[in-house]
């Protein structure tokens, strides 16, 4: 009797985070590398959602693609609930984790890289450009003015992260890398989402590649989930922080900057933290079904 075929064991979460980080670092664009930086050993790393941009870039991307009939309202709402439950409840069942991961980029399966890049430019103009926080943009410019390089580090697809980086005049971006063959997306990830520990791995890998001294680098984020990145650098800063990050930053003596005011800050802190924040851990608001072609 032929023995039953054994299913391969899934990669553990640490290895997936490492692969995602290394893939993001390898894909990082260096748009401003025509002249050598004045301070090549130092750099700044900025989270995007609620740090550089109001709300979740992933949500704005998903909404733009929804308008272009990539998927139905029922599909996106069902997928968003599934992903939010996974993030909030913190389910660690291997099958559930694997399902959430494998579905994260299913919406672009069958579409081309060129198509997403082109639509991403349009969606940035219509739904993202006016949501950039001026205060955070000014902080990034200060680093550039000091001759340092500035990278975005986000769970959004690398193609979208690169668009935002170019439009803001930054050095480059690290984002979630989607597998593609002959320019067509397979719907699978390279490693894992660039979230949490994976961001730390990406920054560490980029620092090795670019010869950065992390003790002289800065990092900015709104989320406690980004502690792996914030804790790597010598100058961490909490921007529009959630409650846990604000508490941690105060305990550690980190800088805190909040560009929200009054009721708006309260609304963003609660709604974005619970809803948009849940979407941040998934690509394009956790769209779990294959996208519809035009």
Among this protein's residues, is 49 annotated catalytic?
yes
Of 49, 192, 226, 242, the catalytic one is 49
- What are 258's two structure tokens? 């909040």
Among this protein's residues, is 99 annotated catalytic?
no
Residue 9 buriedness (CB in 10 A; 0-12 / 13-18 / 19+):
exposed
Give the residue numbers annotated as catalytic, written as ranges. 47, 49
């Amino acid at each position: 009797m032929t023995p039953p075929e054994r299913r391969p064991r899934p990669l553990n979460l640490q290895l997936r985070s490492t692969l995602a980080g290394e893939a993001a670092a390898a894909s990082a664009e260096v748009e401003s590398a025509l002249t050598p930086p004045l301070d090549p050993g130092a750099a700044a790393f900025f989270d995007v959602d609620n740090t550089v941009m109001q709300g979740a870039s992933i949500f704005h991307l998903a909404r733009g693609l929804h308008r272009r009939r990539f998927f139905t309202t029922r599909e996106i709402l069902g997928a968003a609930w599934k992903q939010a439950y996974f993030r909030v409840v913190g389910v660690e069942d291997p099958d559930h984790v694997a399902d959430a991961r494998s579905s994260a980029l299913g919406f672009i399966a069958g579409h081309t890289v060129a198509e997403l890049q082109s639509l991403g430019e349009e969606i940035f103009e219509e739904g993202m450009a006016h949501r950039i926080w001026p205060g955070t943009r000014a902080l990034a410019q200060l680093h550039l003015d000091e001759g340092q390089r500035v990278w975005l580090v986000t769970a959004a697809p690398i193609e979208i992260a690169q668009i935002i980086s170019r439009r803001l005049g930054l050095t480059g971006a690290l984002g979630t890398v989607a597998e593609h063959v002959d320019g067509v997306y397979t719907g699978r990830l390279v490693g894992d989402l660039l979230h949490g520990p994976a961001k730390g791995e990406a920054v560490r890998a980029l620092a090795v590649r670019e010869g950065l001294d992390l003790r002289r680098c800065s990092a900015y984020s709104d989320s406690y989930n980004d502690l792996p990145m914030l804790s790597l650098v010598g100058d961490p800063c909490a921007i529009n922080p959630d409650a846990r990050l604000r508490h941690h930053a105060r305990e550690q003596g980190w800088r805190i900057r909040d560009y929200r005011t009054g009721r708006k800050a309260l609304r963003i802190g609660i709604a974005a933290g619970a809803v948009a924040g849940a979407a941040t851990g998934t690509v394009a608001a956790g769209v779990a079904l294959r996208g519809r072609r035009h």
